[in-house]
Structure 1
């Protein structure tokens, strides 16, 4: 079995042809469609614990390292006659296409496989994604002053 990388000759994820990345052959590197990136393409590296996105915007190259646990899950999207599996993130620009096919049995098997490999839930497209709750900042100065000084009033100079 050949590795599915950008140079191996397999279809890149996001192309118009049927694509399928194998979850058992991680790590894998491929090119994906990105409208904001220079050239309309970004490089994606998938590992079991992390995802690395590399792209250039206006000549400035960047690499974004994201933990797999930061993703919400694996979503199944209906696109006409084909179905698409996408690794869903809170930020829609960080979503990653994993598999595209017209065969429902193949998509179901891939959906189950990616969900087990990453330990993420299987999501239907259109499920409501509520935003993450805001983290509370108890007291901004708390981390700069000792606890007993927080209780004391500041005197006038």
Structure 2
């Protein structure tokens, strides 16, 4: 990867991480009149890129695991304002795909985290010299040990209020009746 501005740096783009599968087109780095946009299809399992290479149609099908992570790159434009681009980062720069290109840094940060969680890929930050570094998201609110569902204390061993009124049965000897006909069975 290099720190150079990608071909999509001037375009505005925003793909929703919760609206998968998605299709869009990406400009290729090939300059000149023969440059074509690449058609990209992305879902949770993989990416399909259709483009032309030396005039021949090329279709690449890659699993999401082939990508290093979801990266964010900040580049200044001609006026000095920052443009944030959230990218699906690959070792090969030709396979790196833009997901969001915007001047709104808060929206870019939200999309960066959203794409990382949706695709289960690490969050990467592309430094000014071009090398990506892994960013750990801030920890969520720590959760302590849960409280017991029932109170423990002095009164936990006693019977509940509605059972206090009832008298327990007697476990005495049961009477045995002999010489009577049974109601259930007739001979």
Do Structure 1 and Structure 2 share a fold, with TM-score over 0.5? yes
What TM-score, normalized to structure 2? 0.58
Contact 2:36–2:52 under 8 Å retained in 1: no
Counterpart for residue 47 of structure 1: 43
Alpha-carbon RMSD across the aligned residues, in angstroms, is 2.2
What TM-score, normalized to structure 1? 0.68
Q: Which of these residues, 30, 40, 49, is aligned with residue 36 of structure 1?
A: 30
Contact 2:26–2:98 under 8 Å retained in 1: yes
How big is the shift at 1:92? 1.2
How big is the shift at 1:103? 1.3
Q: Which of these residues, 65, 71, 74, is aligned with residue 78 of structure 1?
A: 74
The one-character-per-residue Cα deviations of 1:113-134 (angstroms, maximum 9, x if unpaired) are 000010001011037469xxxx
Greater share of helix residues, 1 or 2? 1
Helix, strand or coil at the partner of 2:112: helix
How big is the shift at 1:89? 0.6
CA distance in structure 1 between the aligned counterparts of 2:105 and 2:131, rounded to whole angstroms:
23
Find out whether 1:22 has 2:23 as its counterpart: no
The one-character-per-residue Cα deviations of 1:86-144 (angstroms, maximum 9, x if unpaired) are 111111110001101111210111011000010001011037469xxxxxxxxxxxxxx
Counterpart for residue 112 of structure 1: 113
**5+ residue gaps, structure 1:** 1-12, 131-157
CA distance in structure 1 between the aligned counterparts of 2:96 and 2:36, rounded to whole angstroms:
15
Counterpart for residue 94 of structure 1: 95
Helix, strand or coil at the partner of 1:109: helix
CA distance in structure 2 between the aligned counterparts of 1:21 and 1:129, rounded to whole angstroms:
22
Contact 1:35–1:41 under 8 Å retained in 2: no
Helix, strand or coil at the partner of 1:24: coil
CA distance in structure 2 between the aligned counterparts of 1:56 and 1:104, rounded to whole angstroms:
33
Aligned length: 118
CA distance in structure 1 between the aligned counterparts of 2:51 and 2:67, rounded to whole angstroms:
19
